[in-house]
Structure 1
Amino acid sequence: MPLLILLVWAFAEIWLLIKVGTLIGSFNTVLLLIATAVLGLLLVQREWRKLAEAMQGQMQAGRLPLALLLESATVGLSGVLLLMPGFITDFLGLALLLPLTRKLLTGPLKKRENSPNYQNTQTGWRDSNEKGAGRGNVIEGEYERKDDE
């Protein structure tokens, strides 16, 4: 079944490229594909920077940025789709790049992330100044490295 979907997708991309090529010319079609790839990658880079700053802020606050990780994966997928030649992939890539689309995809995860049950599972994220920090499965010891000569 996935192979059939890939084949249909490839034929749809080729058919659309031929249709657009006959309307605006083959050279203009290639330029349009290159322009969407370059513009898309610039937008992906900008969105990744914003998401990285937001993730860093959440991690410094001691929370796992689960929804932001999923959003950054969505942005990465959109970058891959924008690099692939074709107008259908470009449309899907731009759709995944839009913040509204990403919010719709990550909405259920954000609800789960804010639930009390999820918050209680975050025991590994502690500030070194917190009470009880440094305890756990730490074994102190010494070692000596011996290189074979």
Structure 2
Amino acid sequence: MLFRLLLLFIFVPLVELYLLLQLAHATSAGATFLVVISTGVLGSYLAKREGLMAWQKFHNALGEGRVPSREIQDGLMIVFAAALLLTPGMITDAVGFLLLVPVGRDFIRKTVLSRYFAGFKNVQIRSSFFESPARQPFNDSNTIDGKATRR
């Protein structure tokens, strides 16, 4: 797993740099710079909007008395999307925009997350209430009487 992450952190930036250089070669450096800046600005706006919607859905789920697991997943994917969109690059922007769209989040949830949480489908949670030890009655033998005055 660590080796895969290392390859990912080396391979993705190199591919991103290559794609940005190819875009600059095909258009111009100014146009490439404008694309990078505009995707960052647009991504931050969309992430804020989607984040507020996810926050409202989270509160609605809590108000209805349900566990907001889907809303938490959406919120985490939106935060990850915002981080990807602020990173310059074409692949990270595409994945970031995919995570911002609800259809894209559903796709990621069905394909990626279902693979990682496949073993957790039949989880049962049980709880019981344990009695706390009996409290000792108040003992005032250590109480000191006094008088307070305000100056």
TM-score higher than 0.5: yes
Quick check: 1:67–1:106 contact (8 Å CA) kept in 2? no
Letter of the 1:23 partner, please give it. A
> Which has more radius of gyration?
2
Name the count of aligned residue pairs.
126
Cα separation, 1, equivalents of 2:72 and 2:37: 28
Letter of the 1:22 partner, please give it. H
Match of 1:67 in 2: 70
| CA shift in 2, pair 1:136/1:85, >3 Å | same
Cα separation, 1, equivalents of 2:79 and 2:86: 11
For each residue in 1:22-66, what CA deviation from the matched residue of structure 2 results, as whole angstroms up to 9, or x when unmatched? 111001111110000000110011101111111111101111101
Q: Which runs of 5+ in 1 are unaligned?
A: 124-134, 143-149
1:16-35 matched pairs, under 5 angstroms: 16-35=19-38
Note the C-alpha offset of 1:121.
4.3
Quick check: 1:36–1:82 contact (8 Å CA) kept in 2? yes
Q: Which runs of 5+ in 2 are unaligned?
A: 139-151
Cα separation, 2, equivalents of 1:17 and 1:40: 18
Note the C-alpha offset of 1:5.
2.2
| CA shift in 2, pair 1:61/1:105, >3 Å | same
Identity of aligned residues (%): 26
| CA shift in 2, pair 1:53/1:122, >3 Å | farther
Match of 1:45 in 2: 48
Note the C-alpha offset of 1:104.
2.7
Is residue 58 of structure 1 aligned with residue 61 of structure 2? Answer: yes
Note the C-alpha offset of 1:106.
3.3
Match of 1:87 in 2: 90
